[in-house]
């Protein structure tokens, strides 16, 4: 099924210019999720409250991922954002201070290399 979001290719300059807004919304979403995860950790998995809290976490993460896609970037994991370069991805993970990693399309997060 085709994405409803336009594909975008980023220069390093463009991705870094967009990063502060991505960081801001990611920090906000993470600050909403952190206390819920702490509550989840204290509950039995089969408790009704556990399911409710898990659903809340999922909604927050899904809304964050959709907002990332609205910027033309890709949410590749929780608080992990990739910016397509046409040859691979510039890769940022919360709470990194800057966009300083790259990986090929097939390499994934494990194959990240520092941008020099």
Q: What was the pLDDT predicted at 67?
A: 97
pTM over 0.85: yes
Q: What angle do CA 92, 78, 68 make, to 5 degrees?
A: 65
**Per-residue pLDDT, 5:** 52
- 116 residues of the chain, pLDDT tens digit each: 444 455 799 999 999 999 999 999 999 999 999 999 999 999 988 988 999 999 999 999 999 999 999 999 999 999 999 999 999 999 999 999 999 999 999 998 999 999 97
Contact present, 32 and 78 (Cβ < 8 Å): no
Classified as helix, coil or strand, 94 is coil
Element (H, E) at 28: helix 12-42
């Amino acid at each position: 099924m085709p994405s409803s979001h336009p594909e975008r290719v980023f220069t390093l300059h463009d991705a870094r210019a967009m990063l502060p807004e991505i960081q801001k919304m990611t920090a906000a979403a993470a600050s909403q999720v952190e206390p819920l995860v702490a509550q989840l950790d204290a509950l039995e998995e089969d408790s009704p409250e556990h399911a409710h809290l898990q659903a809340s976490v999922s909604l927050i993460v899904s809304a964050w991922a959709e907002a990332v896609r609205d910027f033309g970037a890709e949410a590749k994991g929780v608080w992990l954002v990739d910016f397509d370069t046409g040859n691979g991805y510039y890769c940022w993970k919360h709470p990194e201070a800057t966009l300083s990693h790259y990986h090929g399309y097939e390499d994934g997060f494990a194959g990240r290399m520092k941008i020099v």
